[in-house]
Amino acid sequence: MDATLNQPASEPVEEIETYLLLEALHRRYHYDFRHYARASIRRRLRQACQQLGFASISMMQDALLHDEAVLTRLLDFLTVQVSEMFRDPGYFKAIREKVVPHLQTYPSLKIWIAGCSGGEELYSFAILLQEEGLLDRTLIYATDINPTALETAQKGIYALDRIATFTRNHQRSGGRTSLSDYYSSAYDRVVFDRKLRERVVFSDHSLANDAVFAECQFVSCRNVMIYFDRPLQDRALGLFRDSLSRRGFLGLGSKETLRFSEHADAFTEFVREEKIYRRRDA
Amino acid sequence: MMPNGAKAIVIGASAGAVQALSQILPRLPATYPLPVVIVVHVPADPSGLVALFASKCAIRVREPDDKEPIESACVYFAPPGYHMLVEDDRTIALSLDEPVLYSRPSIDVLFQSAADSYGEGLIGVMLTGANEDGAVGSAAIIDAGGTVLVEDPEHAFADTMPRAALARCPSALTLSLDAIADRLAQVGTI
């Protein structure tokens, strides 16, 4: 074979397969993972391949294109998100102490939990707002791309063995009530009170493809953008900036930063150590 | 034995990690020509590793944010509770994917992604530890053409981790902590 036909450093086959599968997933089902951080995607695809019993990513792509059932299973690998209620209690404490006084000045509030996954963050917010007397005048948007996750969030049912962590976090977040006031247990599960989600709109929304849909006073998007590459992260941050009302608040995960984003100048640090930012408006 | 084209060092350690790293990291100069990316299994958050080693080391020590560029002359400790990966553009990627072998951060996850990114330019170091995390990742480094150094299990505080790595990687070099420190300190100076 003529060596000049080859690229100088030949690309690993797995890279080609990964690119093609993500392209197929987008064109066939409109799920867009093309700008997800590649190192994690690679790991998840290897895992999916192994656990779903495919010999290669190309074989998995073939099955994916022709069998919709493979999509559901693959999505669970690609969007896996392990969370807990009141994760990073200091974040919620800072919201109570520093953000709530600002939120209280609004007659009505809109809060967006972007990438709500199984709903842990959503119920944390709902409980916090209830404790602070704000839930009645708040509309919460809980969005995710994974329909299974949205369904879980909508049900508000969690394994009983997770409650000890949730309770400890809630207390450390400055909770004014007992977490057990908000759920009832049955066998090895707990169900959160439906009152907490009366003011919640659950919706399929993609930070990669969809647009702004409401004007919010607070956007919480934690540990979602760590899975995005820089261009997609910039897209999402642009959406948040455009979704926020004047001087609205943005909360990120504890190891996320706006430092490397093209939108860094659109926000100011509000509670630096808890990664709570505020939209910069003159 | 030690590649001149080395681009990065990754280190994995668990039980006994602080002692072992204390024999290695203070030997690296402030101008060390490579980045050193480390996963230590620690239960506590905050881990205190950065504060501890910053006071002992000439080289810069950080717990990175997501997307932070990986620079030479810097030690990066994985944040507690997160997997830490290396992206192809040589930035840090953090993830909250499920623990691997009950561990998050996981040595396997770091080593595998760094092997994908640095290939033969990667040196992996497996130190003391009481589980088998890092064995699969070490094999990935060897498969990608990189080098793996393993702390001599006979003298390690906990020998399970080095033994597991050696079992998966017959071509890895078994060395004392001192010898590992010597090798790492010499990288790039020859």
The interface pTM score, or ipTM, of the predicted complex is: 0.89
The CATH number of whichever domain residue A123 belongs to comes to 3.40.50.150
Same domain for A55 and A119: no
pLDDT at residue A29 greater than cutoff 60 = yes
* Residue A150 included in any domain: yes
So what's the pLDDT on residue A5?
Answer: 53
**Mean pLDDT, range A251-275, rounded to an integer:** 96
Same domain for A153 and A19: no
* Residue A243 included in any domain: yes
Please judge whether B68 and A260 are an interchain contact, meaning their C-beta atoms are less than 8 angstroms apart.
Answer: yes
> In this predicted model, what pLDDT tens digit does every residue of A155-188 receive, in sequence order?
999 999 999 999 999 999 999 999 999 999 989 9
Same domain for A159 and A50: no
Please judge whether B97 and A40 are an interchain contact, meaning their C-beta atoms are less than 8 angstroms apart.
Answer: yes
Report the residue of B89, B91, B96, B143 to disrupt the A interface, i.e. the one with the largest count of A CBs within 10 Å: B96
So what's the pLDDT on residue B46?
Answer: 67
> In this predicted model, what pLDDT tens digit does every residue of B125-136 receive, in sequence order?
999 999 999 999
For the record, the structure tokens of B12 come out as 């994995």
Q: Pairing relation of β-strands A189-192 and A267-271?
A: unpaired
So what's the pLDDT on residue B92?
Answer: 97
SS (H, E, C) B58-102: CCEEECCCCCCECCCCEEEECCCCCEEEECCCCEEEEECCCCECC
* Residue A94 included in any domain: yes
Of A225, A255, A260, the CB nearest to B79: A255
For the record, the structure tokens of A172 come out as 């450390």
Report the residue of A15, A18, A36, A38 to disrupt the B interface, i.e. the one with the largest count of B CBs within 10 Å: A38
**Mean pLDDT, range A89-115, rounded to an integer:** 97
Same domain for A106 and A20: no
Kindly indicate the confidence band of residue A95, based on its pLDDT and cuts at 50, 70 and 90.
very high
Please judge whether B117 and A39 are an interchain contact, meaning their C-beta atoms are less than 8 angstroms apart.
Answer: yes
For the record, the structure tokens of B96 come out as 């909250």
For the record, the structure tokens of A273 come out as 């150590």
Q: Could you write out the DSSP letters of every residue in B131-167?
A: S-TTHHHHHHHHHTT-EEEEE-TTTSSS-HHHHHHHH
Instruction: Count Cβ atoms within 10 A of the Cβ of residue A173 and give its class: 0-12 exposed, 13-18 middle, 19 or more buried.
Output: buried
For the record, the structure tokens of A202 come out as 């659950």
Ranges of residues in chain B with a pLDDT under 70 are 1-4, 44-46, 188-190
Catalytic residues of B: 14, 41, 133
Q: What's the structural domain count of chain A?
A: 2
Kindly indicate the confidence band of residue A10, based on its pLDDT and cuts at 50, 70 and 90.
confident
- Closest-CA residue of chain A to B108: A43
- Closest-CA residue of chain A to B80: A255
Domain span at residue A264 reads 89-279
Same domain for A191 and A244: yes
Strand ranges of the sheet holding B35-40, from the earlier edge strand across to the other edge = B60-62, B74-77, B35-40, B8-13, B122-126, B147-151, B173-175
pLDDT at residue A3 greater than cutoff 60 = no
Which residues of chain A make contact with B86, given a CB cutoff of 8 A?
A: 39
Q: Which amino acid is at B106?
A: S
Classify the C-alpha dihedral A149-A178-B98-A18 as positive or negative: positive
Report the residue of B88, B91, B97, B104 to disrupt the A interface, i.e. the one with the largest count of A CBs within 10 Å: B97
Calpha distance A131→A210 (Å, rounded)? 33
Same domain for A275 and A220: yes
Calpha distance A90→A103 (Å, rounded)? 18
For the record, the structure tokens of A29 come out as 């089902």
CB atoms within 10 A of CB A220: 27
Interface of B with A in 42-81 (CB under 8 A): 64-68, 79
Same domain for A71 and A10: yes
Same domain for A16 and A128: no
* Residue A47 included in any domain: yes
**Mean pLDDT, range A214-236, rounded to an integer:** 96
Kindly indicate the confidence band of residue A83, based on its pLDDT and cuts at 50, 70 and 90.
confident
Q: Which of A52, A78, A104 is the last residue of a domain?
A: A78
Please judge whether B96 and A255 are an interchain contact, meaning their C-beta atoms are less than 8 angstroms apart.
Answer: no
Which residues of chain B make contact with A40, given a CB cutoff of 8 A?
A: 85, 93, 95, 97
Same domain for A20 and A159: no
Distance from CA of A258 to the nearest CA of B (A): 10
Domains and CATH numbers, chain B: 8-186 (3.40.50.180)
Same domain for A230 and A107: yes
| Phi, psi (deg, nearest 5) at residue B180 | -65, -45
So what's the pLDDT on residue A12?
Answer: 87
B30 vs A: CB within 8 A: no
Range scoring the smallest mean pLDDT among A5-9, A224-228, B41-45: A5-9
Please judge whether A226 and B95 are an interchain contact, meaning their C-beta atoms are less than 8 angstroms apart.
Answer: yes
B11, β-bridge pairs: B38, B125
B35, β-bridge pairs: B74
> In this predicted model, what pLDDT tens digit does every residue of B5-42 receive, in sequence order?
899 999 999 999 999 999 999 999 999 999 999 999 98
* Residue A260 included in any domain: yes
Same domain for A145 and A107: yes
> In this predicted model, what pLDDT tens digit does every residue of A116-167 receive, in sequence order?
999 999 999 999 999 999 999 999 999 999 999 999 999 999 999 999 999 9
* Residue A84 included in any domain: no
* Residue A83 included in any domain: no
> In this predicted model, what pLDDT tens digit does every residue of A71-80 receive, in sequence order?
999 998 998 7
pLDDT at residue A256 greater than cutoff 80 = yes
pLDDT at residue A1 greater than cutoff 80 = no
So what's the pLDDT on residue A108?
Answer: 97
Kindly indicate the confidence band of residue A9, based on its pLDDT and cuts at 50, 70 and 90.
low
What average pLDDT does the structure give for chain A?
A: 94
* Residue A54 included in any domain: yes
B36, β-bridge pairs: B9, B75
For the record, the structure tokens of A104 come out as 């209280």
Kindly indicate the confidence band of residue A7, based on its pLDDT and cuts at 50, 70 and 90.
low
Please judge whether B93 and A40 are an interchain contact, meaning their C-beta atoms are less than 8 angstroms apart.
Answer: yes
Same domain for A154 and A255: yes
For the record, the structure tokens of B36 come out as 């050193």
Of A223, A257, A260, the CB nearest to B96: A223
Which residues of chain B make contact with A225, given a CB cutoff of 8 A?
A: 66
Residues 6 or more apart whose Cβ sits within 8 Å of residue A113: A121, A122, A125, A140, A141, A142, A143, A220, A221
Classify the C-alpha dihedral B47-B100-A23-B69 as positive or negative: positive
Residues 6 or more apart whose Cβ sits within 8 Å of residue A249: A99, A102, A217, A218, A219, A270, A276, A277, A278, A279
Residue whose token pair is 């057990």:
A180
Share of chain A above pLDDT 90, in %: 91
Q: Which of A31, A56, A78 is the last residue of a domain?
A: A78
Distance from CA of B183 to the nearest CA of A (A): 29
Q: Which of A15, A46, A78 is the last residue of a domain?
A: A78
pLDDT at residue A2 greater than cutoff 70 = no
